[in-house]
Amino acid sequence: MPIARSSALLAGFAAALALTSCAPKKDTIRIGEFASLTGKEAAFGQSSHKGTLLAIEELNAAGGILGKSLELITEDNQSKAGESATIVKKLISRDKIVALLGEVASSRSLEAAPICQAAKIPQVSPSSTNPAVTETGDYIFRVCFIDPFQGVVMAKFAKDTLKVRKVAVLTSVSSAYSVGLAKYFKERFVADGGVIAVEQKYSEGDKDFKAQLTAIKASGIDGIFLPGYYTEAALVCKQAKDLGLTVPVFGGDGWEAPQLVEIGGAAVEGSYYSTHYSPENRSPAVTTFLAKFKQRWKNEVPDAMAALGYDSAMVLADAMKRAGTTEGAKVRDALAATKGYVGITGTTTLDASRNANKAAVVITVKNGQFKFVESVAP
């Protein structure tokens, strides 16, 4: 009777599935978070998660909000497509969360967005910069600026400060972030009279860029725009130097991480990127954040993802306080009215399209340290 036995096994599994969730405690506010804690983009997801968790713990230490303590329920999507939709449904229907935080990658934020919109659960994305994310509906917010703004910032910076006229663009074709940022940069740079001499592509996970760089070198450019993440940025800078290519390399907020300097070493000296906050900023808020983060996470230095993860939780908590309730519609209205919130990543004002309207800073690497170059207001 093995078939009967395995059917019984399956029935048992189904029963276990029904028991996996537990009823919410009365005196807590449940906030959901979905993040890529394992898989390809785990480095970003974990960073962001550490920031978010720190914020929740801090809020609880200060007595919670609305007289209740906060409970962060985190689910991992393994950086896989399709997983986020399932876990967001679980968070909403089983764990009864009142608001959702996440994700870093725009494509996965986009998976969760229609579900949150339909369930009228406000979603705050910490660092998805693709414009499409918040276009899904009026319950979807983000605390970072969007790619069109960042592209314009870097195009202006390349033209005015770096004074380069002929640049190469090296894009990751498998990353929506990279493709989007490259597009907005090119539009502005060309409109301002610059020349895109050559465009080269790579895919996420590539480690060898010598082929693209050799072709770029042959085209005689005076700058390389590299929208992508820090690992690639560091490797590109290193391999460019190996090939004797000495023009400045510059990129966006994906570069922001201590590993940029660790991997890139001397090769990233004199490169530039735009990002959300300057680690040189010695405002009391940033200083205490740095200290607390290091204390909580084994001396790790927070990157931009961590800072934004922290701010996303704080902006949400701020809105809940102002709303005086955790009811979806009221929290949504309060979030939409967020104005001049001073966080780690600067002053956040959410505009009519539910995007953060905040300044970008341009950072350079000097003697192995991140140095502030200039701030660009929206």
Partner 1 sequence: MSEFLQQLLNGLSLGAIYALIALGYTMVYGVLRFINFAHSDVFMVGAYLGYYLGKLVPPGTLWGGLFVLFAAMIGCAGLGMLIERLAYRPLRGAATLNVLITAIGVSLLLEYSGQRFFGAAPRVFPPIFPERNFQLGALIISTNQLVVIGVAVLLMLGLQFIVYRTKIGTAMRAVSQNPKAAQLVGVNNDVVISFTFGLGSALAAAGGILYALNYPSIDPLMGVMPGLKAFVAAVLGGIGNIPGAALGGLILGTVETFIGGSQWSTYKDAIAFAILIIILLFRPAGLLGRFTAEKV
Partner 2 sequence: MPKPTLALLSAFLFAFGVSLLSDRLDPYYLDVVIGVGINLILAVSLNLVNGYTGQFSLGHAGFMAVGAYFSAAISLFVAPAFIGPAGTSALSQGAFFLAALATGGICAASAGLLVGVPSLRLKGDYLALVTLGFGEIIRVLFQNIEKFGGALGLNRIPAYTTIFWVIAFLALTLFVVTCLVHSTYGRGFLATRDDEIASEAVGLNPTRYKIVAFVIGAFFAGIAGGLYGHFKLTITPTGFGFEKSIEIVVMVIMGGMGNTLGVILAAVLLTLLPELLRPIAEYRMIIYSLLLIVMMLARPQGLFNFKFGQTRS
**Which positions lie near partner 1, rule CB under 8 A?**
37-40, 42-43, 45-47, 173, 200-203, 205-212, 214-215, 217-218, 231, 234-235, 238, 242-244, 259, 262-263
CB-nearer residue toward partner 2: 6 or 295: 6
The b-or-e profile of 252-275 (16+ CB within 10 A means b, else e) is bbbbbbebbbebbeebbeebbbbb
CA distances from 190 to 70, 162, 170, 186 (A): 48, 15, 16, 6
Q: Which does 206 bind (CB under 5 to 8 A by kind): partner 2, partner 1, none?
A: partner 1
CB-nearer residue toward partner 2: 16 or 218: 16
Residue in this structure with the two tokens 């395995």, named with its chain if needed: 6
Minimum Å gap between C-beta 258 and partner 1 is 10
DSSP, collapsed to helix, strand or coil, labels residue 354 as: coil
Minimum Å gap between C-beta 48 and partner 2 is 16
Binding site for partner 2 (CB under 8 A): 2-3, 6, 10, 13-14, 16-18, 20, 37-38, 74-76, 78, 80-82, 85-86, 89-90, 92-94, 106-107, 110-111, 114, 130, 132, 136, 172-176, 178-180
- What is 98-136 written as a DSSP string? SEEE--SSHHHHHHHHHHHHHHT--EEESS---THHHHT
DSSP, collapsed to helix, strand or coil, labels residue 290 as: helix
CB-nearer residue toward partner 2: 226 or 344: 226
Handedness of CA 332, 336, 338, 344 (dihedral sign): positive
Minimum Å gap between C-beta 7 and partner 2 is 8
For the chain, the C-alpha Rg in angstroms (whole number) is 22
Q: Which does 46 bind (CB under 5 to 8 A by kind): partner 2, partner 1, none?
A: partner 1
Minimum Å gap between C-beta 313 and partner 2 is 19
Minimum Å gap between C-beta 70 and partner 2 is 19
